[in-house]
Chain A
């Protein structure tokens, strides 16, 4: 159990090459198509913010329910908590690109728009930036505390840290309910400032939770291939895939709940959100989003052969990662660029972000033992047997 993750030089080189591609993509974007550059920065930032929110929520949930089976892998969501400081730095430039992203940030547009004037007390640049700082302060503060507790437990042991983590996790999920909703409203929903959906925050949160599980499981499987987590057995895999299966259904439920109400009521101010998405050049992506995130995993995760095969699961998890990209892409691009662009800028920047955050994840994992040492439920996790 004393294994420490060793980052192989190959991985380091690959990660830095990917980051280089991303950097080139962004430099190219900001010189030639600044609008696309800003949109892509927001897409990729939000992609990983959602993952970090989902990952830390998952960790908090494991503490609150005192789940035993997952204890051995909990260092991965804890490492995902380290996305927040990096994302904070990456979100700062977005605050300078408000004019390219958000319609409401133009005073001359607000002057002729009664609806935006009505929303102005909330949607204005200073308050927007204040909220941005508050969200990240809450996330970074609480998740770093959770990390600290877990590492202290390694050294000192005892039930104290277990109980403290549980209490802190409860505080965290309450804070997350407010901040994650606010973040989704601020950064994504205010792109279409005239439009609103009350289920929007929940839908985005579920997206993050779902795909965070995908990332956690993917990292577990990939590290297991390298010889880490020797205790990983079929029951762990079954529990992970069950978790992902359930979240896949919840994701589809939320996606559909938002869509059908707007479709059914057919109010012009609401339906306008789905018009460019369902009719026009975004149509294929609209259906791709649903098929990749729901239809494919729903049927594949019913098949026992796939659930037992690590290689097939790795492929499926990678497909689901792309599914989340389509999801975020659809939410951001339609309102900002009004045009479907998929080229070097989109692909390169996404590759760059994957390289960066894969490196952040591995780096945080390698700093501390890969499996927590004195957790009271660790034995249950390493000898997990479930039905």
Chain B
């Protein structure tokens, strides 16, 4: 069975910020916030954390050591060739170490990000509401099967109270079926 999300559509970022705090006060689990622009404070308000910078650091260390190992093997162990009177294991490594560290660090960070987000080139991205790439901001709440009708109503009314211009239910489509956006008009 396809999963369903309850989506509150907001027109203004300040209203959205207030809505996030309002809903958190009511103990509603916010699954995601979608917005066409970066909004200050959303990251902190949702208490999101990321270990990506730490991963990048270790990829950098890995890149430096791998590149050094290769350079050392190539110019000292495997094919020791003296030129310019310079020692074999030299400072001239540093420039390529510098560049390769940046490359490996960035590349692996991106790979990690793509894998964690289950993204790949050519993936059909499901957009919960196409207007969220234009001028609307969304608060997404998971519509759990365990939730009772009253609880779902609570969530919807909380969205409306906090200034949502519309409240919709959108079904998530996981298969290759073309994505259909069901528009359930909000009754004020």
**A266, B84: Cβ atoms closer than 8 Å:** yes
CB distance from B107 to the nearest CB of A (A): 20
Once bound together, how far apart are the Cα atoms of A88 and B122, in whole Å?
65
User: What count of chain B residues pass the 8 Å CB interface test?
Assistant: 12
The yes or no answer to B95 lying at the interface (CB within 8 A) is: yes
A266 / chain B contacts, CB cutoff of 8 Å: 84-85
Partner of B40, one of A263, A264, A302, A387: A387
The yes or no answer to B43 lying at the interface (CB within 8 A) is: yes
The yes or no answer to B92 lying at the interface (CB within 8 A) is: yes
The yes or no answer to A260 lying at the interface (CB within 8 A) is: yes
CB distance from B102 to the nearest CB of A (A): 11
**B92, A387: Cβ atoms closer than 8 Å:** no
Once bound together, how far apart are the Cα atoms of A311 and B38, in whole Å?
33
**A260, B91: Cβ atoms closer than 8 Å:** yes
Once bound together, how far apart are the Cα atoms of A260 and B96, in whole Å?
13
User: What count of chain A residues pass the 8 Å CB interface test?
Assistant: 8
B38 / chain A contacts, CB cutoff of 8 Å: 387
CB distance from A286 to the nearest CB of B (A): 14
The yes or no answer to B57 lying at the interface (CB within 8 A) is: yes
Contact with B along A365-387 (1 / 0, CB 8 A): 00000000000000000000101
CB distance from A385 to the nearest CB of B (A): 5
**A260, B95: Cβ atoms closer than 8 Å:** yes
CB distance from B100 to the nearest CB of A (A): 16
Once bound together, how far apart are the Cα atoms of A38 and B132, in whole Å?
68
**A256, B94: Cβ atoms closer than 8 Å:** yes
A385 / chain B contacts, CB cutoff of 8 Å: 40-41
**B57, A264: Cβ atoms closer than 8 Å:** no
A263 / chain B contacts, CB cutoff of 8 Å: 91
CB distance from A183 to the nearest CB of B (A): 30
B80-122 residues at the A interface, CB under 8 angstroms: 84-86, 91-92, 94-95
Once bound together, how far apart are the Cα atoms of A387 and B38, in whole Å?
10
Closest residue to A385 on the B side, CB-wise?
B40
Closest residue to A263 on the B side, CB-wise?
B91
